[in-house]
Structure 1
Amino acid sequence: MEVLFYVIPIVMIAGVSVMAAKTIGRSRQISGAWDHGLTAEARCLRSYTTTSGGGGDTSVSTSLHHVYEFTTREGRAVRFDEVNGPSTVIEGDYVTVYYLPDRPERATAHPPARGKLAAGTGCMLVFFGVFIAFCVGFMVVAHMIFSATDDFMP
Structure 2
Amino acid sequence: MEPLFYAVPCLMIAGFGFAAYLLLRRARRISRTWKHGLTAEARCLRMYTTTSGGGGDTSVRTAVHHVYEFTTRDGRTQRFEEEGGPGTVLEGDYVTVRYLAEQPHRATALPPARGRLAVGTGFALTFLGVGIAFCSVFIVVAHMMFSEAGDLMP
Equivalent residues in 2 for 1:95-110, closer than 5 Å: 95-110=95-110
Q: Distance in 2 between matches of 1:86 and 1:102?
A: 26
Q: Distance in 2 between matches of 1:111 and 1:57?
A: 35
- Give the length in aligned residue pairs: 154
Q: Distance in 2 between matches of 1:9 and 1:54?
A: 27
Q: Distance in 2 between matches of 1:97 and 1:48?
A: 19
Matching residue of 1:20: 20
Matching residue of 1:124: 124
Equivalent residues in 2 for 1:1-154, closer than 5 Å: 1-154=1-154
Could you list the runs of 5+ residues in structure 1 that have no partner in the other structure? none
Q: Distance in 2 between matches of 1:63 and 1:140?
A: 40
Which aligned segments of 4 or more residues in structure 1 are displaced greater than 4 angstroms? none
Tell me how far 1:128 sits from its aligned partner: 0.8
Give the letter aligned to residue 68 of structure 2: Y
Query: TM-score normalised to the size of structure 2?
Result: 0.94
Tell me how far 1:51 sits from its aligned partner: 2.4
Q: Distance in 2 between matches of 1:60 and 1:4?
A: 34
Could you list the runs of 5+ residues in structure 2 that have no partner in the other structure? none
Tell me how far 1:60 sits from its aligned partner: 2.8
Q: Distance in 1 between matches of 2:10 and 2:66?
A: 36
SS in 2 for 1:112: coil
Tell me how far 1:29 sits from its aligned partner: 1.0
Query: TM-score normalised to the size of structure 1?
Result: 0.94
Q: After alignment, is 59-68 or 11-20 more displaced?
A: 59-68
Tell me how far 1:45 sits from its aligned partner: 1.1
Q: Distance in 2 between matches of 1:57 and 1:150?
A: 45
SS in 1 for 2:2: coil
